Amino acid sequence: MAGAKYGKYVVKEPKGQPMPPRTTRIQSISLTGANYGAIAPLNMDFNFVGIVGTHVMMDPSHKHNVDELLFFIPKEPGAADLGGVVEVALGEEWEKQTISTPAIICLPAGVQHGPLYVKKVTTPFYFGHCLLAPKYSSSETPAV
């Protein structure tokens, strides 16, 4: 049977933690402690979200004790324009950064981030986080 020995490493349609349906964002692929299944533990937690409307996320602001990446991916290959405008607050002082191109934000452990305001959406784009930990937790959602 094809795929018998290593099939456990392929997580199909990984939808992550169930979330209430929203009109502004759509759950995409997600790797969390919940869907590692037989291959746990892995030291990574990430989540892709389709952004289709304006809204505020990551409110209140928070930080982690591990490194994180936030990513912004356009729908179209090679687009220089993200398809929207996002404002995100970084640091304790809420320094405002504006994202309107494809981008990655690296957040070393301890760097506060949020809120994140999806200010404009002209074409749906992907946003997500990638946390170097086996399970998502933050100063606002501590691990239990």
- 112 vs 83, 89, 109, 118, CA distance in Å? 26, 8, 9, 18
Which phi and psi (to 5°) does residue 87 adopt? -110, 130
18 sits near another protein (criterion: CB under 8 A): no
Least separation in angstroms between CB 1 and another protein: 10
Q: CB-wise, 12 or 144, nearer to another protein?
A: 12
Cβ atoms of 66 and 35 within 8 Å: the answer is no
Which phi and psi (to 5°) does residue 34 adopt? -70, -30
Q: Which of 61, 63, 102, 117 binds another protein (CB under 8 A)?
A: 102
104 sits near another protein (criterion: CB under 8 A): yes
Q: How far apart (Å, rounded) are the C-alpha atoms in residues 117 and 98?
A: 10
Least separation in angstroms between CB 136 and another protein: 15
Q: How far apart (Å, rounded) are the C-alpha atoms in residues 46 and 25?
A: 16
50 closest CA partner among 79, 34, 65, 71 = 71
Structure tokens at 94: 């809420």
Using CB under 8 A, which residues numbered 45 to 84 contact another protein?
Answer: 46, 48-52, 67, 69, 71, 73, 75-78, 80
132 sits near another protein (criterion: CB under 8 A): yes
Q: Which of 61, 126, 136, 138 binds another protein (CB under 8 A)?
A: 126
Write out the residues near another protein by the rule CB under 8 A: 2-7, 9-15, 26-29, 31, 36, 39, 42-44, 46, 48-52, 67, 69, 71, 73, 75-78, 80, 90-91, 95-97, 99, 101-108, 111, 124-126, 130, 132
